[in-house]
Structure formats: structure tokens, C-alpha cells
Amino acid sequence: MKTYLLPSIKLTIILIVITAGIYPLAIAGIGKFTPGHGDGETITYKGRVVGYAGIGQKFTKDEYFWSRPSAVDYNAAGSGGSNKGPSNPDYLKQVEGRIADFLKHNPGVTRAQIPAELVTASGSGLDPDLSPAGAQVQVARIAKIRGLSADALTKLVDAHTEKPMWGVFGPAKVNVLKLNVALDELKK
Amino acid sequence: MNTEISGVVFTYLLTLAIAIPLGRYIARIFKGEKTWLDFMAPVERFIFRFSGIDTKREMNWKQHLFALLTINSVWLIYAFVCLMAQGHLPLNPDGNPGQSPDTAFNTAISFLVNCNLQHYSGESGATYFTQHFVFMFLHFVSAATGIAALIVLFRALKDKVTDKLGNFWDYFVKSITRILLPISFVIAVIFAFNGMTTSYAGKDTFISMQGDTVHVSRGPVAALVAIKHLGTNGGGWFGANSAHPIENPNYLTNTTELVAQCIIPIALVFALGFYLNKKKFSYVIFGVMTLGMLLLLIPTMNAELNGNPAIAHMGVSQPTGAMEGKEVRFGPANSAYWSIMTTIISTGSVNSMHDSAMPVSGVMMMMGMMVNCFYGGCGVGILNFYIFIIIAVFISGLMVGRTPEFLGRKIEAREMKIASLIALLHPFIILVGLAISSYVIVHMPGADWAVKPSAWLNNPGNHGFSEMLYEYTSSAANNGSGFEGLGDGNIFWNVTTGIVMVLGRFLPIIGPLAIAGLLANKKFIPESAGTLKSDTSTFGVMIFAVIIIIAALSFFPSLALGPIAEHFSLK
């Protein structure tokens, strides 16, 4: 017993110090030199922090670009998806409800123009992005409410469209928070 | 090519480009040859001196197992106590409470066995203390346990007639100091510069553009997420795991996490060839594993890219594919690739919610865990594969009427008994668990647990059945992903999956090592014209057939009741 138990305990102690103490502290030290100083990158508008760049927030007002539906209502102190199966009848009813709601707030838009991400919940419930199509389909509504030209808004969305990684890998996307901050700044 | 598909192809090619040289490096470490990380030697010497370990003392297979099981028991007790007491321990800026005994039981086992099933949510169910001193620590040592056990097997396959198989502590510590720690460090730095948080600050609060007050959970995430993937652990910082924007901020971190979780399992396949000087043999193994991976991956990507037919029916366009439970920045193609890699490799981290995936994808993910050796977890993937090799050798031997031999040793009744028991254990623990939970749902719907059985399932019908099947499969395969709609935060699931996880971890380590140890002691028979060649594609086909027959077909009836039935009902 002594041949195995005592070395096991001592080895455990020293490895805890190395892997759970020294290693993360070293990374925390390096993190100080990163863009968000290791605390997360925030977005500031009119001198106050209005959110984190990477963390999606709720946009449901008609004058903003809506963000995706969220199973946790964009609670960033929790996270998660709906975990609804693709054949669940209650879930499909919910999606149908979101489509109807979107059509009501966006007259003139047809069902076929609505990209799926606008009526489905994300995995984290904190998805910060839309596809470019998901932003463009909302342009007409926002232009009307804000009295802006649809052209200018289309351009704004284009300017905020982030290309795939290195131009070739992965999907293109639009960060909803950054887009909406730019939208508010446009009004001035 | 579509940028989503090209992203997947790029990720896989990058994985191979790193894994092959890494395999050569791992073989060099354990052959005792010079490597460029030899500057770690003084650290290792210090660790051994502090622990009172003499690495020169060689062990036989039983002593190896004894060392492995002893230190694992120490970790189990340590983890259990810390989780119960976390509310009173330091580094708890969010003031989270201790875990209940059954949750702590489940969580301690789950991280000990490299499974990382999480019946709590990281934001509220763990503290910075336990995230570091329990989870991150166990991420390292559970992965190193798997690698060390595999090196014992390598050693047993290499040497002629011996019971001296090296020193367990030496293999174990070097797996950390030479492989896991240095690579994790590099990965964590990449993460830190891509928006993953690293500081110890607690929750933050801000007022959103619309005027909502929002609390944001944070923490030193980058260090944990690096080893979480590298060690094929999968237990994340946040509830949403790698779908969470802090735990996986962009496509680059996503690619890094994907590569990180695949490189060691694939590298170990090549390390086997370098270590034994049998490169062709490792190509055969790699070929079989890759064929299996592709057969699971292609239908999954196809299903996800085509989208949900029920939503298509409503007239909405799904230009990118099925989006429920998925993040825009990764897209369905990448999420499909991730969900297959994470299930065949026993990582169990997720970047999309598997519960909301298409039924075909559900079948493929579960098959990945049912087979559990297409690449497989750190070290244990090849140990599982070894069992199938033994069975394939035996059946091939019977087919041609010769005594089955593998690498110069006769495989006899005793080895076959062990191999059969281990091969059948996996379906046994999964299906028995499933049977019990199904019985409880039907006959005890109102039982007074934290979640009543009648409320366990988040989805009705076949999909609800799939949620339970997935949970036990994931536990037995030490995977840790879930159909997370399942109400698993109660004593029934905590205890039953805890038991399944322990059996699914240690027996498949003990079995292969016992076989290898027994074989290493046998008389060495030099190759002759009648020897079954283990490095041919014919033998590869034979192993593949054994895997399909044993691992896949035993589960077919349960898959038919769950995701397959759902697929045919989905219009």
C-alpha cells in the first residue's frame, strides 16, 4: 500500500500546483496584454459600456436590427439552447409563431425571404451574430421607422459584414450589437 | 467551394499536418530518445523527488494497474470533497453554493474518468476554485492516465517475452510535462488573443442598448478550454460549452479547439507505428478509423446542410442549413463536423446543441460513441481498438483454421474471454441503464426527486427516448456530451450514470492491459509464411467488419426506436 498510496498523494499535490496554479496564472498574466486585458472586450457608446463585443444581447424593438431568438432570453449569467428536437410539435408551433410575428413587423417580406436563424434559437442563447441575409431582410422596416434611406442601411450592413476567416473558411456574419451602435450613430 | 465546406476540409487537413509529426515526437519521448522539450527534465526530476518515486523501478502489468487505480481513487475522494465544500472555499466571486452529494458524486466521477458529463451549469454550479483545482487538474491527469495506460500497451507489444513494462509514474508525468502542458500553453495563448477571458474577475453588469440590465458571467476561461480539448475531456466553463461566445469567440478559436481535440488521439495512432517500427500497421489502423469517421460524417453534414424538413415546410428559407441550437459564426457544416469529431473522439464538448440536431445526425453521433474507437479518447481510443483487433485476429484464425497469433504471440481462450467481456460490456451497461430509466418513466412518473420522471424528457415520442439513449451512451463511452434537454439533475441520473461512467472507464483500461500483459509473457513465435499479416488492408477490412457487427449492430434496435423512427416521421 505504502508503495503506491503515498507517492500518489504527493504526486497529486505537486501536479495540482503546476496544472491548476502555475499554468492558469501564467495565462492570466499573458491575458493582460490582450485587447480586452483578459476581462472581455466591451463596446462603448456615448461614453458608457453597452455590452460585450462577443456576447449577443436582446434587440426586440422595431427600430433596431433584431437579434436571434434565445432560449435563455439573452441572460449572460446563464447560457443554453432550447434543446428542442426537430420533430417536436410544440417547438414547430413556436417557430410558426415567430414567423408570423416577423411578418407582422416586416410588412412586404415574404416567408421565403426569412433566413432560418431569425426564427430558431441559437446553441448558447447568446449568439452575437446574424447572417448578412438576416440583417438585410430587416432593412426595409428600420428604414421606414427611422426615416432613413434603405440604400444607406444596406450599405451599413455591407460595411459591417465580416467575411469568412481569411476570406475562405467558414460563414460570413454580421455582429448585431456593433451594427446597432453604428445605426444609432448614423442618426446624428 | 462553399466557404463552410472548405473550412471543414481545412480543419481536418491541419489536424493531420500537426498529428503526424506529433506522433513521431510522442514515440521519441517514450522510447527515451532526445526531444526538444528535454529542458523539462529538471522539472520532472523535481516532481519525482518530491513524490518519492523511483522511475527506474519497472512494473509488470498488474503493478501498473495498481498504481493507476490507486492514484485515481485519491483524485476521486479529493474531487468529491472539494465539490461539496466549494461554497466555503476561496475563489468564489459569484457566491455559488456547494454541490449536493449526488451531484458531487456524479461530477467527481465524470471528470475523473475523462467523461465530463455535466449535470450542473458552470455559471452557477461551480466556483473558480473547483473549475481550476478540480476540473482543470482532472482534465490534465485523466488524459495523462489514458496516455500512460496506452504506453504500457505499446511496451507490451514491443518487447519480446518480458513482464517488465516500464514505470507507470514515468509515463504519466511525462504525458503531462512533455505533451499536455506545453501544447495547452500554446493553445491558451492563441485563445487569450482571440477574445477568450483570462482574468479572475467575477460577474460584470451593464445596461444594454435597449435598456435591459445584463449580468455577464466570465472567468479565467482560456487556460481551461485549452486542456479541455487537448485532453479530449470536453467539460467546459459555461453551461453552453463551446457554443458560448466567451468559450469559443470566433472561427479561428473554433478551428483551434477542433484541431486540439483531434491531434493527440490521431497522433497516438502514428506513435504506435513509430514506436513499434511498424508504420504500415498504423496506416491500417488509421485507415479503418478514418473510413469509420467519414461514414459517420458525410450523412451528418448532408442532413444538417439540408435543414429541417418541418421548417422548410413552413416556407422559411434555410440557405445555410438547420439553425436551431447552432451559432451563426460556425454554421451548420462546421457544427456537423464538430458533433461527429466530439463523439468519435470522446471529447464531448459541443459547439451546437446536439438535442436539436437532425435525427440522422443523432444516429451518427450515437454510433460514434457506441463504437468509441474511431480515433477515440486520449489513449483509451486505441485500447478500445485493441480489443477489436484481438477479436478480429481470433475470428480470422478460426476462418483459416490456424491458431490465431498477433505480433508473434498466440491468442488463446483466456485472452479471448477478456476481450469478449470488454466488447460486450459497452452495450450491456448502456442498454441496461436505458431499460431501467424507461421503466422508471413509465411506472414511477411521480417519484419525488429534484426532477420528477414525468418531467425528464424535453421532447415527446421517439426523440424523448433518444435523449435517454444518448445519455447512457455518452456516459459509457466517457464522452460527456448530451441531449441536454434531458432533466438529468437529480439523484436517479446522477447515480446511474455515475456507475456507468466508472465501469465504462476502468474495465476497458484493465481488460486490454491484462491481455497485453499476458501476451507479453508468452513465447515469441517468429513470423512465418502462415502468419496472419496484421499490416494489410485485408486485415483492416476484417477489423472493420468486427466493429460493425459487435458495436453497431448490438445497438440497432434501440436506435430504431429513437432517432431512426423520428427520421421517418419527420415531414
Chain B residues close to A22, C-beta within 8 Å: none
Give the helix/strand (H/E) hosting B207. Answer: strand B204-207
Sign of CA dihedral A101, A107, A111, A117: negative
Write b or e for each residue in B76-95: b if 16 or more Cβ atoms lie within 10 A of its Cβ, otherwise e: bebbbebbbebeeeebbebe
Instruction: Give the whole-angstrom CA distance, residue B343 versus residue B110.
Output: 16
Mutate to test the interface with B, among A6, A14, A15, A161 (most CBs of B within 10 A): A15
Q: State phi, psi for A129 to the nearest 5 degrees.
A: -115, 165
Question: Which stretches of chain B drop beneath a pLDDT of 70?
Answer: 1
Chain A residues close to B181, C-beta within 8 Å: 18-19, 23
**What residue segments make up the domains of chain A, in order of their start?**
1-40, 41-187
Cross-strand bridge partners of residue B205: B215
| Min Cα–Cα distance to chain B from A81, Å | 5
Look up residue B252 and give its three cell numbers: 479561428
pLDDT at B201: 85
Give Dmax over CA atoms of chain A in angstroms.
80
- Angstrom distances, CA of residue B301 to CA of A65, B296, B418, B536, B540: 30, 9, 37, 31, 26
Contact between B353 and A83 (Cβ < 8 Å)? yes
pLDDT at B353: 95
Contact between B407 and B157 (Cβ < 8 Å)? yes
CB contact under 8 A, B324 and A39: no
| Min Cα–Cα distance to chain B from A131, Å | 6
- Angstrom distances, CA of residue A8 to CA of A20, A53, B78, B175, B379: 17, 45, 12, 16, 21
Q: At what angle do helices B279-306 and B3-31 cross, to 10 degrees?
A: 150
Contact of A160 with chain B, judged by CB distance below 8 Å, is answered with: no
Pairing of strands A173-175, A129-130: antiparallel
Burial class from Cβ neighbours inside 10 Å (0-12, 13-18, 19+) for residue B205 reads: exposed
DSSP SS3 for B388: helix
Instruction: Give the whole-angstrom CA distance, residue B277 versus residue B348.
Output: 33
Instruction: Give the whole-angstrom CA distance, residue B265 versus residue B258.
Output: 12
Cross-strand bridge partners of residue B237: none
Chain B residues close to A56, C-beta within 8 Å: 245
Contact between B538 and B186 (Cβ < 8 Å)? no
CB contact under 8 A, A28 and B223: yes
Chain B residues close to A115, C-beta within 8 Å: 316-320, 323
Q: Which residues are CB-contacts of B435 (< 8 A; sequence separation ≥ 6)? A: none
Q: What is the CB-side half-sphere exposure of residue B145 using CA atoms within 13 A?
A: 29
| Cell 449492430, residue located | B553
For residue B319, give the nearest of A64, A120, A133 by CB distance: A133
Per-position DSSP letters for B177-245, written without gaps between them:
IIIIHHHHHHHHHHHHTTT---S----EEEE-TTS-EEEE---SHHHHHHHHHHTT----SSTTGGGST
Q: With a CB-CB cutoff of 8 Å, which residues 8-27 of chain A face chain B?
A: 8-12, 14-16, 18-21, 23-24, 26-27
| Cell 459541443, residue located | B350
| Min Cα–Cα distance to chain B from A12, Å | 8
Instruction: Give the whole-angstrom CA distance, residue B219 versus residue B240.
Output: 15
For residue A61, give the nearest of B210, B246, B460 by CB distance: B210
Contact of A82 with chain B, judged by CB distance below 8 Å, is answered with: yes
CB contact under 8 A, A20 and B132: yes
CB contact under 8 A, A5 and B317: no
User: What is the per-residue pLDDT across B22-72, written as a single tens digit (0 to 9) for each?
Assistant: 999 999 999 999 988 888 899 999 999 999 999 999 999 999 999 999 999
Contact between B355 and A84 (Cβ < 8 Å)? yes
Chain B residues close to A70, C-beta within 8 Å: none
Contact between B366 and B558 (Cβ < 8 Å)? no
CB contact under 8 A, B214 and A51: yes
Contact between B351 and B241 (Cβ < 8 Å)? yes
For residue B316, give the nearest of A9, A111, A125 by CB distance: A111
pLDDT at A7: 94
- For B21, other C-beta atoms within 10 Å of its C-beta total 11
CB contact under 8 A, B216 and A64: no
| Min Cα–Cα distance to chain B from A150, Å | 22
Answer yes or no: pTM beyond 0.90.
yes
pLDDT at A188: 52
Instruction: Give the whole-angstrom CA distance, residue B35 versus residue B41.
Output: 11
| Cell 523511483, residue located | B54
- Angstrom distances, CA of residue B347 to CA of B400, B434, B493: 39, 22, 20
Mutate to test the interface with B, among A5, A10, A12, A19 (most CBs of B within 10 A): A19
| Min Cα–Cα distance to chain B from A125, Å | 8
pLDDT at A1: 64
| Min Cα–Cα distance to chain B from A144, Å | 19
For residue A86, give the nearest of B245, B328, B356 by CB distance: B356
For residue A87, give the nearest of B217, B327, B570 by CB distance: B570
| Cell 475563489, residue located | B91
For residue B220, give the nearest of A28, A58, A128 by CB distance: A28
Q: What is the ipTM of this complex?
A: 0.94
* The residue type at B195: G
| Min Cα–Cα distance to chain B from A188, Å | 16
Contact of A138 with chain B, judged by CB distance below 8 Å, is answered with: no
- H helix and E strand count, chain A: 7, 5
Contact between B527 and B408 (Cβ < 8 Å)? yes
Instruction: Give CA torsion, residues A13, B107, B342, B360, to 10 deg.
Output: 170
Ordered mean pLDDT values, 10 residues apiece, chain A (188 residues): 88 96 95 88 91 93 95 90 93 95 94 94 95 95 93 94 91 95 83
Give which of B486, B483, B188 is closest to A30, Cα–Cα.
Answer: B188
Radius of gyration of chain B (CA): 23
pLDDT at B551: 80
Scanning every residue of chain A, which has its alpha carbon at the shortest distance from the alpha carbon of B323? Answer: A117
By 3-state DSSP, what share of chain B in percent is helix, strand and coil, each rounded to 5? 65, 0, 30
Give which of B175, B170, B171, B176 is closest to B53, Cα–Cα.
Answer: B170
Instruction: Give the whole-angstrom CA distance, residue B371 versus residue A76.
Output: 37
CB pairs under 8 A between A and B: 388
